Amino acid sequence: MTDRPDPSPSPTPPRARPLAAGATEPLHDLPAETLRALVKELQLHKMELEMQNEELRTTQAALDATREHYFNLYDMAPVAYCTVNAKGLIQQANHFAARLLGTERESLVGAPLARFIASEYQDELYRKSRLNLGTGEQISSEMRLVSRSGDHIWVEMGATAALDEGGEPMWRIVLIDITMRRHAAQMREKQEAFEAERRAMSRFLSAASHDLRQPTHAMGLLIDQLKQLSGTPQTHVLVSRLDASVRTLEHMLNALLDLSRLDADSLQVQPTAVPFARVVEQVRTLFPGEGIRSGVRLKFRASPAWLMTDPALLQRVLHNLVGNALRFTPQGTVLVACRPTANGTHARIEVRDNGIGIAPEHLSHIFEEFFQADNPERDRSKGLGLGLSIARRTCDLLGHPLTVRSAPGWGSCFSVTLPLAPPQPALVEEPPVAAWDLSQQALVGLHALIIEDDAMACDALFDLLKTWKSIPHAAEGIETARALVAQGLVPDFIVSDHRLRGQENGIDAVLALRELTGRNIPACLITGDMDKAVAERARSVGMALLYKPARPAALRELILSIISR
């Protein structure tokens, strides 16, 4: 650092001091040499004064610049500054404080700060400010302000005690607007609460899906056995009506559970490359030939196309579309086909029928929940009117546009457009759609191991397999199944529920038995759990999957398919 010159006035030159002291000696009486020296000293003193004056001007300019810089920092800062006296009155405030409080800057001066503080925070501020005067420590608190216009503002307030020029106590206060931060925190809390509710709903739906489907699954199996028993014509009529009622209950239950999952946002899309043939086969098992009314044919046209989609969700869409087409086709054909679009990047799956068709005034309403154009009497045998709504919402979730063309008396065509995927030759493709040998003789004498912890469902499946001339064995879990194998049982196939007692599940049970026997035992998993992770794991270990409530014909066809591979 360099030493700055002393800006104080220079002392009077020595020779001029007598004059400054009031000496009366005339200048003309002084010797010329003295006068010349005096003039020289005065000139030097003048130069010093001019230099000091320049330094003073420079210092003043620096002070002005510092003052302006302070003004910019204080007055134009993006946070609110103000000073408050001991009476709580605002003495100074910057522009941001005025803008934050929604008033003019001039009107803030002399106004009580408490006027802008929400009532529930005033006592806290008073207590902290009194304490702050005693300790001198800075206080900080989050509180809610109310602007002049009534807007609510969340701020972080920092206050420091000081003394004003008169020695009176005062506070220097900083107000930082944290309204957006508070709102963001509230949104995060709401989002976390929503996610917790969604997870709870998913767990509930998973449990309800299993528990509610279990009784209807058992009823379906028992009804199939009743059909095979001899009886009077009246008995057969009653059994047929009972079967129709159970089917209606199954459709309603499936629709309501699917709708609940969509509403709970618990369906997660997991796209993968899948052959059209595999999707069609899974859909086909849901509509066994004997379950279709006389005079109606269900046809699936083969296609080599591979699709990029979520197979489980697409299967549900097609199930609803095919079911709807069969319901409204008294006689004729329902065709499911897949063909590439003109641009060659997408495919269009079509479900065509030559049924009664849809009136033009109803086309804009058919995807609405509970809408049924032909069911004003609310006949529940015709469903709830949810199938098409679920199909549309599922397609929206998948990003697959769903469209419809229809004309009364000519039938309808529902189309789902989805991306094509390159073939995956490394994957083992499922057998193509084919008419499996459904003869009961194919199951005669085969040892079937049932793993099911629900006694009613286990008994129903046990008796059903006996009617197919198989030799059933029942276990309620992994250990009882191991015990049967240890006693010499070599099962030809396994039919297992997924949810077993405790933490056990059917997939682990099948894997344990395969390891114990050293054989890749054919197995199918029957479950009411619609979790896609279950389906993916079952597929990864080579298990077929059937959802409850399972119709006996679909179960028989699935068993025949796994033992024939």
Strand 139-146 and strand 152-163: the pairing is antiparallel
Please provide the DSSP assignment of 14-53 as one string.
GGGHHHHTT----GGGS-HHHHHHHHHHHHHHHHHHHHHH
What value does the CA radius of gyration of the chain take, rounded to a whole number of Å?
Answer: 45
Report which of residues 40 and 438 the model is more confident about.
40
Distance CA(284)–CA(431), nearest Å, equals: 13
| pLDDT, position 494 | 94
Interval 507-535 mean pLDDT: 87
| pLDDT, position 17 | 54
Distance CA(230)–CA(238), nearest Å, equals: 13
Lowest mean pLDDT among 160-174, 188-202, 211-225, 324-338: 211-225
Lowest mean pLDDT among 12-16, 111-115, 245-249: 12-16
Interval 110-122 mean pLDDT: 89
Distance CA(86)–CA(555), nearest Å, equals: 86
Query: What is the average pLDDT value for the chain, to the nearest integer?
Result: 80
CA-nearest of 448, 442, 484 to 464 is 448
Contact indicator for 386, 345 with CB cutoff of 8 Å: no
Q: Of the segments 67-76, 118-127, 134-143, 197-206, which one has the largest average pLDDT value?
A: 118-127
**Peptide bond preceding 215: is omega within 30 degrees of 0, i.e. cis?**
no
CA-nearest of 547, 96, 9, 562 to 283 is 547
CA-nearest of 231, 232, 354 to 299 is 354
Distance CA(416)–CA(279), nearest Å, equals: 13
Contact indicator for 525, 505 with CB cutoff of 8 Å: no
Whole-model pTM: value is 0.47
Res. 505: pLDDT tops 70 = yes
- Name the burial class of residue 165, with classes exposed (0-12), middle (13-18) and buried (19+) by CB atoms within 10 angstroms of its CB: exposed
pLDDT band at 269 (very low <50, low <70, confident <90, very high): confident
Interval 362-372 mean pLDDT: 80
| pLDDT, position 432 | 40
Whose structure tokens read 């009411």?
A: 528
| pLDDT, position 375 | 47
Strands of 63-168 (E only): list them: 80-85, 90-93, 139-146, 152-163
Res. 14: pLDDT tops 80 = no
Q: What is the pLDDT of residues 313-359, one digit of tens each?
A: 898 899 889 988 988 888 899 999 999 998 889 999 999 999 899 88
* Alpha-helix residue ranges (DSSP H) falling in 422-550: 455-467, 478-486, 506-517, 532-540
Contact indicator for 215, 250 with CB cutoff of 8 Å: no
| pLDDT, position 5 | 47
CA-nearest of 149, 143, 142, 138 to 100 is 149
| pLDDT, position 546 | 84
Q: List Cα–Cα distances, 475 to 459, 481, 542, in angstroms.
A: 11, 5, 21
pLDDT band at 134 (very low <50, low <70, confident <90, very high): low
Contact indicator for 14, 42 with CB cutoff of 8 Å: no
Interval 148-167 mean pLDDT: 86
3-state secondary structure of 471: strand
Residues in the chain: 565
Interval 260-270 mean pLDDT: 66
The identity of residue 109, as a single letter, is: V
Look up residue 11 and give its DSSP letter: P
Whose structure tokens read 């204080």?
A: 74
Q: What is the pLDDT of residues 393-443, one digit of tens each?
A: 889 989 999 999 998 988 999 999 999 999 886 544 444 433 444 455 678
The identity of residue 329, as a single letter, is: T
Distance CA(554)–CA(291), nearest Å, equals: 10
| pLDDT, position 4 | 46
| pLDDT, position 395 | 92
CA-nearest of 44, 33, 35, 36 to 11 is 44
Interval 280-293 mean pLDDT: 72
Whose structure tokens read 């397999």?
A: 465
Contact indicator for 412, 358 with CB cutoff of 8 Å: yes
| pLDDT, position 227 | 75
The identity of residue 164, as a single letter, is: D
| pLDDT, position 225 | 75
In angstroms, how far is CA 492 from the centroid of its own chain? 44
Please provide the DSSP assignment of 249-316 as one string.
HHHHHHHHHHHHHHHTT------EEEEHHHHHHHHHTTS-GGGSPTTEEEEE-----EEEE-HHHHHH
Q: List Cα–Cα distances, 277 to 149, 269, 340, 430, 431, in angstroms.
A: 67, 21, 15, 8, 8
Interval 63-71 mean pLDDT: 68
Interval 55-68 mean pLDDT: 77
CA-nearest of 319, 328, 272 to 300 is 319
